């Protein structure tokens, strides 16, 4: 069920620019950047560490009051295990959004990056 929902969502995101261009709407993308990264010490009794960051959103090319989705890709390093690459989906909204993710005490986000930014209608 979840897999088919993800597939339908992905198909919609892929089709959006084509539909917008066919209808004459110009499509833009906001510029996103990650900063103010914090990684907490592990918390007892759960042994969870919190990774938090601020994502700045420059949506100046977009129409007013729009939002969308983006993914942050992570390369997670873990003691005594293989590295794991995965993605988490978040919502962008100008001027910035707070994002966060939990890691176990023996894990660390070795790398992270932004990808799959939802396009927006361009400002006139």
3-state secondary structure of 66: coil
**What pLDDT sits at residue 20?**
46
Nearest CA to 40 out of 86, 87, 98, 101 is that of 101
Q: Encode pLDDT of 104-124 as tens digits.
A: 999 999 999 999 999 999 987
Rounded (5°) CA angle 66-54-124: 25
**What pLDDT sits at residue 43?**
86
Sheet containing 67-78: give its strands across.
84-93, 67-78, 107-115
> pTM for the whole thing?
0.76
CATH number given to 26-121? 2.60.40
**What pLDDT sits at residue 124?**
78
**What pLDDT sits at residue 82?**
94
Residues 30-57 have a mean pLDDT of 95
Looking at per-residue confidence, does 34 or 24 come out higher? 34
């Amino acid at each position: 069920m979840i897999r088919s929902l993800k597939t339908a969502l992905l198909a919609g995101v892929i089709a959006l620019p084509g539909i917008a261009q066919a209808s004459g709407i110009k499509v833009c993308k906001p510029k996103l950047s990650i900063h103010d990264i914090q990684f907490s010490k592990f918390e007892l009794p759960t042994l969870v560490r919190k990774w938090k960051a601020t994502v700045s959103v420059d949506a100046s090319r977009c129409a007013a009051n729009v939002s969308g989705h983006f993914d942050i890709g992570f390369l997670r390093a873990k003691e005594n295990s293989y590295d794991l690459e995965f993605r988490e989906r978040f919502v962008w909204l100008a001027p910035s959004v707070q994002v966060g993710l939990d890691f176990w005490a023996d894990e660390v986000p070795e790398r992270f990056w932004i990808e799959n930014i939802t396009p927006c209608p361009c400002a006139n």
